[in-house]
DNA sequence: CGGGTACGTACCCACAAGGTTACATTCGCA
DNA sequence: TGCGAATGTAACCTTGTGGGTACGTACCCG
């Protein structure tokens, strides 16, 4: 969880994920699509790999990266502990609106 | 979204949120509960405030901080774009298991 | 077995982040 | 009004992070 959130804090890394969400890609393709040079991308991928957000598969000289969205389940579950809170708050808001309408009749 | 994820990347700040999830608290209380000194906590709170994760209310000299889980909705929505992916994957897994059972009959 | 290709890593530099101490500010109260 | 309490901010230092360049290393192909 810590590693995942840390990995997501950087926008470039999130962009990598968004590319991989559409299709697997090699390190080189990712580097082309990003504003940073290849070595930087390699380091981003290393972080994502260690956070469990991507998988690598070797194809000759190329390394094909694929998304591994299971890791995001952790974040999803963590958010779950707050989801109840904001749902309650929205319910309260709806109730307040309903009371307001009623009062205006 | 960027600001929120960045704010969440630090563990101390997440701990602040976890305290506030249970009850509102003053800056001093939070500092006592954390391993860092008050000025550090103040800066953490500033980040959380600017990310929209907490609200402040002034009570005499004290500032009472309360959770504002609405901001986490952003993260929740962003995760939603990946939820479909991992649900499909889980479905595929379940299907594979079902096929396995069938084959073993 | 060379040569080109696709990556990753080591090294270096600049900057941002996080912590602490010292100081300024605001508020309640005698 | 003067004092203590609660908090935020400024200045400073240390460490971590992100980016680039240079280099090492597999791998295919002729």
pLDDT at residue B1 in the model? 83
Q: What percent of chain A has pLDDT over 70?
A: 88
| Residue numbers in A 66-105, CB below 7 Å of strand C | none
Predicted model pTM: 0.82
- Statement: residue A48 has pLDDT above 70: yes
- Structure-model confidence comparison of residues A71 and A95, the more confident one: A71
Which H or E run includes B26? Answer: strand B25-26
Average pLDDT score, chain A: 88
Q: What percent of chain A has pLDDT over 90?
A: 70
pLDDT at residue B60 in the model? 86
Smallest Cα–Cα separation from B21: which of B75, B66, B57?
B66
- Statement: residue B105 has pLDDT above 70: no
Helix axes B38-50, B2-9, angle to 10 degrees: 160
Residue A20 contacts strand C, CB under 7 A? no
In tens, the pLDDT along B5-36 reads: 999 999 999 999 999 999 999 999 999 999 99
CB contact under 8 A, A8 and B9: yes
Q: Tell me which residue in B11, B75, B89 faces A79 most closely, judged by beta carbons.
A: B75
- Which domains does chain A carry? 2-69 (1.10.10.10)
In tens, the pLDDT along B48-70 reads: 999 999 999 998 889 999 999 98
Measured between beta carbons, the chain B residues lying within 8 angstroms of A17 are 82
What number is the average pLDDT over the span B40-51?
94
Cα–Cα distance for residue pair A76/B77, rounded to 1 Å? 10
């Amino acid at each position: 969880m810590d590693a995942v959130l840390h990995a997501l804090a950087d926008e470039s890394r999130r962009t990598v994920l968004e590319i991989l969400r559409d299709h697997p890609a090699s390190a080189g393709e990712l580097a082309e699509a990003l504003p940073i040079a290849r070595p930087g991308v390699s380091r981003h991928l290393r972080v994502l790999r260690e956070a469990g957000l991507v998988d690598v598969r070797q194809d000759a000289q190329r390394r094909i990266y694929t998304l591994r969205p299971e890791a995001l389940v952790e974040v999803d579950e963590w958010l779950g502990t707050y989801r109840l809170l904001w749902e309650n708050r929205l319910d309260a808001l709806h109730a307040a609106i309903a009371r307001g309408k009623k009062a205006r009749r």
